[in-house]
Amino acid sequence: MQNNVVAVTIKGVMPTANGCAVFLGDESKIFVIYVDQSVGNAIQMTLNGVKKERPLTHDLIGSMLLGLNATLDHIVINDAREGTFFARIILRMENELGKKIVEIDARPSDAMVLALQQSRPIFVARPVLDSVEDMTEILERVRKQQAEGSDEETA
């Protein structure tokens, strides 16, 4: 997994007219994945450490993995085609029959929530990172506008 993937972190989650924009990247490049509102909220709640009264779907999946003695090792955003991103969840399982690695197809948004909840790494395949538009300036501009808006509210 050396040079074919890049570790990324979530740099921000912003509401849009149709859902949320999730900004991810490393020190060299930030890109955006658009997700539906409910998953965007789940990502934001996880980032903010919000405690929920009842388990949401991603909490349920995490509990099921625990019950099955499976651990999420990492996720990889492994493909992007026509504006749609694809991801893989890599699980490690160990039981009386032995050790096993399981790879599951997933929406990147769901995979990101699970990785965040379990403090596991998020990777992007190098070809995907190379193919996406750098959104670093856009994120900086949005943050600046938000900061100016909150300054006006406190004035």
* pLDDT tens profile 65-104: 888 889 999 999 999 999 899 999 999 998 788 899 999 9
Q: Round to whole Å and give the CA distance between 37 and 39.
A: 6
* Phi-psi label, residue 49: left if phi above 0, alpha if psi -120 to 50, beta otherwise: left
Whether the per-residue pLDDT at 152 is higher than 70: the answer is no
> Mapping DSSP to helix (H, G, I), strand (E, B) and coil, where does residue 49 land?
coil
Q: Please report where in the chains the tokens 């909840």 appear, as a residue.
A: 117
Closest by Cα among 132, 103, 153 to 34: 132
For 19-75, the pLDDT digits (tens) are 999 999 999 999 999 999 999 999 999 998 888 888 888 888 888 888 888 999 999
Query: What would the two tokens of residue 48 be?
Result: 């903010």
Number of domains in the chain: 1
Q: Which domain holds residue 25?
A: 5-154
Strand 5-16 with 122-125, pairing: antiparallel
> What CATH number is associated with residue 94?
3.10.690.10
In this prediction, residue 34 carries a pLDDT of 95
